[in-house]
Amino acid sequence: MPCSAAVSAHHPATSPVTDSATSQHASSAQLATPRTTAHKAVYIGRFAPSPTGPLHFGSLLAALASYLDARHAGGQWHVRIEDLDPQREDPAASQHILRTLEAYGLTWDGSVCYQSQRHAAYLDGLHQLADLGLAFPCGCSRKQLQGRLHLAGCAHPPNREAGQDYAWRFRVDPQAAPVCFDDRLQGRYCLSPSRDIGDFVIRRRDQLWSYQLAVVLDDHDQGINQIVRGIDLIDSTQRQLLIYQAFGWDAPSYAHIPVATERNGQKLSKQNLALPLQPDHSGQTLWLALDWLGQQPPATLQGAGNHTLLQWAIQHWQPERLHGRHQLPAPAAFQRPGSSDPA
């Protein structure tokens, strides 16, 4: 099902959002229309995992924090599967992720959105950026860039008539001031377009869509106005803010929680072979996750079941307890046995 304006039986949307996959090619004038205040009145959050394997304890933390933030505010919480890279995906992972969320009582509003069904919306967005002069084809390889940021136009424009592979990049202004935002947990965070960002890829040479463009179009079309995610994604925020600015859209509010780490300091991730999360209806795993998030759940709720624990956590959610935290060790039960302490 395509991503569309967030609607649920419990929280009807205040205004419709048209999915760009079903609309005609928009004009530059249409891009300048910002989201209305009325549409942003209802909290709309999301959890957006990639189906490259099962969830791990770090995934549970991100899902739980975003869920509690939404439910504490009386808002909506949606799930989106970011299946943009078939070669990296596990065919069984999407359903495994959804069943795991259900096992922990993290129920979502509306239908699950799949990025693999959003090609038309992404193509429409790319065309609009190109019409504005903010997206351009580029044949530069990593070898040609030699680790440097791409800036000020393409030194190796592709020979498109000859069928040369090329990427599409978002054009940044190298003279622009730093891009800043106020994170709810990490404070003010700034990056320089010329020193830290450069012209970044929004469609890859292999024609797969980049995370940066897809996530902005999806969040906009779903009406997402609050994003709670791991701090490992904080450097992506300014790139996404530049895209929001280009379309003339209001950006969401962001809260980046710390990441959970192994004994050796590596963050828990599928790439680092984090232990897969097992369904646990007892509430013990959820209690450990709440404790890690600084919520200080009562010891009497250990083993009380996920439903009871979630009801307590929604009522007592205090995200400010994570303020300024960047990383914390995962509970021992969720660390790889072979991970060693840092030297």
| pLDDT tens-place string over residues 285-338 | 999 999 999 999 999 999 999 999 999 999 999 999 999 999 999 999 998 886
Residue 281 clears pLDDT 80, i.e. is over it = yes
What is the spatial distance between Cα 260 and Cα 294, in angstroms, rounded to a whole number? 13
Neighbours of 202 (CB within 10 A): 24
Burial (0-12, 13-18, 19+ Cβ within 10 Å), 95: exposed
pLDDT for 41: 72
pLDDT, average across residues 128-156 = 77
pLDDT digits (tens, 9 = 90+) for 49-79: 999 999 999 999 999 999 999 999 999 999 9
Residue 123 clears pLDDT 70, i.e. is over it = yes
pLDDT, average across residues 152-168 = 68
What is the spatial distance between Cα 164 and Cα 239, in angstroms, rounded to a whole number? 27
Token pair listed for 101? 């969320």
Q: Are 131 and 28 in contact (CB under 8 A)?
A: yes
pLDDT for 318: 98
Residue 81 clears pLDDT 90, i.e. is over it = yes
* Total count of residues recorded for the chain: 343
**Triad 256, 235, 190: Cα angle to 5°:** 90
Q: Are 308 and 316 in contact (CB under 8 A)?
A: no
Helix H or strand E segment including 180:
strand 179-183
Find all residues with CB under 8 Å of 287, minimum gap 6, and list them.
Answer: 297, 301, 302, 303, 309
Q: What is the DSSP string of 51-106?
A: SSS--BHHHHHHHHHHHHHHHHTT-EEEEEE----GGG--TTHHHHHHHHHHHTT-
Q: Are 242 and 172 in contact (CB under 8 A)?
A: yes
Helix axes 306-316, 57-72, angle to 10 degrees: 60
pLDDT for 30: 31
pLDDT, average across residues 229-257 = 97
Mean per-residue pLDDT over the chain, rounded: 85
pLDDT above 70: percentage of residues in the chain: 80
Range in 108-112, 156-160, 284-288, 304-308 with the lowest mean pLDDT:
156-160
Find all residues with CB under 8 Å of 26, minimum gap 6, and list them.
Answer: 20, 124, 128
pLDDT above 90: percentage of residues in the chain: 68
Residue 115 clears pLDDT 50, i.e. is over it = yes
CA-CA-CA-CA torsion sign (73, 306, 3, 171): positive
CA-CA-CA-CA torsion sign (242, 246, 250, 252): negative
Helix H or strand E segment including 123:
helix 119-131
Residue 342 clears pLDDT 60, i.e. is over it = no
The DSSP letter of residue 258 is P
